[in-house]
Structure formats: structure tokens, C-alpha cells
């Protein structure tokens, strides 16, 4: 079986960034699905996937502070509500989450005087 390569508008990303975007894409779809289940009264599922630790590590967040995870989960909530059942929509919002993560990392580095 031949896999169709992912298409990104205007940019070619390194393999590590491609992995992050893939994980974010899956996180958004999962979040949307489980939020739908929660709306009909089926919540607290142990089986909901969580890639937060690896996504945050690969984007350069080297802390395990609640603030960082809260920021990430808020991004997932925000963008999962906006996705449509089309691969292009999910990828667009995954890219938006990625950019927001990088922006937050840079903001924190500037506040700490590291940039």
C-alpha cells in the first residue's frame, strides 16, 4: 500500500516538524470526538489518547508545569471546536496550534531574558 504524502501550503517542513503536526492533527480529532461523547453524557474515558508530553517536548517546552499543560489543552479546546471533517481543515488548525506553541515558547524565553 502506497501512502499519500501530507501536503503543506507553501512550506516544506523537516521530519520532526512533520511528526509534531501529525500528532497535533490526531490530538485535535480525538479532542473533537471525545468532546462530542461528553456532550451526550459519555465522559471520563480512560482511553482518550494524550500526546501532550511528547508534543510539548518536541516543541521545546522542557518543563512540566501545570501552566504549560493548561496552555496546551486550552489550544486544543479552542482549535478542536473549529475543525471540519476534512483533512485540510484539521491540518490547518494543527498548524495554528503549532505556531501558537512556538509563539508562547518565544514569549516565555523573552520574559526569562534568554532571547
Q: For 38-70, give one letter per residue: b (16+ CB within 10 A) or e.
A: eeeeeeeeeeeeeebeebbebbebeeeeeebbe
**What span, in angstroms and rounded, lies between the C-alpha atoms of 26 and 22?**
6
pLDDT, tens only, 38-67 = 888 887 778 889 999 999 999 999 888 999
Please state, as a whole number, how many other Cβ atoms lie within 10 Å of the Cβ of residue 74: 11
Domain layout of the chain by residue ranges: 15-111
Q: Cα 62 to the chain's mean position, in Å?
A: 16
Going by pLDDT thresholds of 50, 70 and 90, the confidence category of residue 5 is low
pLDDT given for residue 12 in this prediction: 60
pTM exceeds cut of 0.85 = no
Amino acid at each position: 500500500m502506497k501512502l499519500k504524502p501530507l501536503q503543506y501550503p507553501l512550506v516544506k517542513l523537516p521530519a520532526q516538524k512533520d511528526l509534531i503536526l501529525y500528532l497535533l492533527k490526531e490530538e485535535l480529532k480525538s479532542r473533537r470526538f471525545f468532546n462530542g461523547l461528553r456532550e451526550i453524557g459519555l465522559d471520563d474515558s480512560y482511553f482518550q489518547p494524550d500526546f501532550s508530553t511528547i508534543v510539548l517536548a518536541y516543541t521545546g517546552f522542557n518543563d512540566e508545569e501545570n501552566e504549560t499543560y493548561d496552555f496546551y489543552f486550552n489550544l486544543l479546546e479552542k482549535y478542536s471546536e473549529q475543525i471540519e471533517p476534512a483533512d485540510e481543515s484539521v491540518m490547518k488548525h494543527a498548524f495554528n496550534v503549532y505556531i501558537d506553541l512556538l509563539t508562547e515558547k518565544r514569549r516565555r524565553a523573552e520574559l526569562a531574558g534568554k532571547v
